[in-house]
Structure 1
């Protein structure tokens, strides 16, 4: 029998979010119902509210979540009721061309729940990234549940579900940061600060955090940046070169998603260095670079989607590092808020006042 729970929906483009009664059906084959304990407020949720993803309103927002599996449908074997899980939006299919080539972190056919959650009047909801976790409970594909050590705080663990994993993975998985490397990170919001933490985990010798907000640079320093550059204080490219013996950084991670900062990243890297784009551009943005420079500087220009992560591999490993005190996920939790605090959290996020507000249920 379907359950009725509270959920935060975006009713229409640009409209304030509100709490509604949500119908959550019993899980069908390959599905699971998860009782949500905590869910981070991500920029992607704001993009959904603003119509920047698509126009399939109303949306059930929230996706950076941790919770307890309540029930599972037929055929589910990887998780069972009572398991503590982080939700992910890359439930690999195992059958697409990426999976069959042994690259499941690029899965082109990730799974979501087949059934729809609805409003009380039967209106079907579009769950953000196939999750919809600003709710007491949500319905997902069982493959979206990654079991981790239950000793981890839900408020911190859930952030691996999107933004923090995106940044960590941009450094470790996509950028391939290695011991002794120099790394520059442009943009030190939640994703950029996570990239700083990832570079530190990977053993980078020099980590240069770049932003126009000294508060964010302070947060990046706490997470492992060895140097900071305020972009308002001069030429970013020249300052990175000054800090790297005149050469540029081995890996530059662009966590803003704008043409001007991408160009900075391109020229701030060493010859044969790597640029990783993890910031999300808007559809109208265009980039112009001299093709001869693209050829002549060599190296790699990469995009990082979800940090090229494989949740079943990366989430348990990162939670273990967190519990060992080697990865400070708690530092990303700027505040904990109730379910009715999401709209105010969007405002704080837009003003750069928080790394993450986290709804605790």
Structure 2
């Protein structure tokens, strides 16, 4: 089990105060939103006497519900609201188009629906005391989870308000961090677990890790791990015998997470963790990058691990690779073709980007996804998920 450490408190939006009226008196509290969402403008008090239908109607209208009842009843109410969102009215079913939408359109409609669903569900709010206790009946002890996500409690800040969904995400992530995720490519237990921190994407897609664990290594030398996240790929490279790795990221939470994991795995001496955008200084024999796979705008900070607006990280990696590769070196681009099946990027565009930046393909290693949605015919975007392939592109400088 990792030793919990306090990460830096999250950056709050400029208007980080929420206001409401209680007992005919104006009230306010610190507003916490990891997504950077503004505080709701309309807030009413809610408790165990409020029906799910009323709560759903108010939430759809944009009125937030500040909970004053039993904590477990708040959870049940959130589930009831979710059921009402997910139940498609018969009139909408009758108006549904007969022909299926094109993949790109289906993807955008799916994201719109998910954003609307999140907006409604995030209207159920909870109070949090300055010392990270929740002043509700049967409330759980969330102090350790809040400490890990927000840093030490600042009593001067006073009480806060947070959405119930965000609190659930915070506590579930803390369990991931406490228990860790076993990574087969890291070897035998106990030195094979990755502990993701709050706000850092968990390496649950094991196929991309396996590709890095099996691809043939170039000549010995320094390796760069671009966008290290939890540090899992840097650790895999060390386990494979790479003597020195420089792991980079821009997110302070990711950097802290990577340092913790590398220390727990016993490879901290072989990996230098650096805060920088994409490449560190110098050259390397091997440069690995697993950029976000979908060229779309992220809706929250955690989605930056999935969505790469305008393919900024992908194209930045390809543009800088030639200048940072040592003679005879290789760049490993780990990328899913999910975007291609969704109509967001074509294979021709990807290959053209290689050519534009003076790169050639030495080999492409492929793996099918192992996650449950790939075989679930009822999952959203199933056709694209079923066809998805994750590839490790072994790239080198063209003409060499």
Which TM-score applies when normalising by structure 1? 0.33
Looking at secondary structure, tell me which structure has more strand per residue.
1
Looking at secondary structure, tell me which structure has more helix per residue.
2
- Structure with the bigger RCO (C-alpha within 8 Å, sep 6+) is 1
Which TM-score applies when normalising by structure 2? 0.30
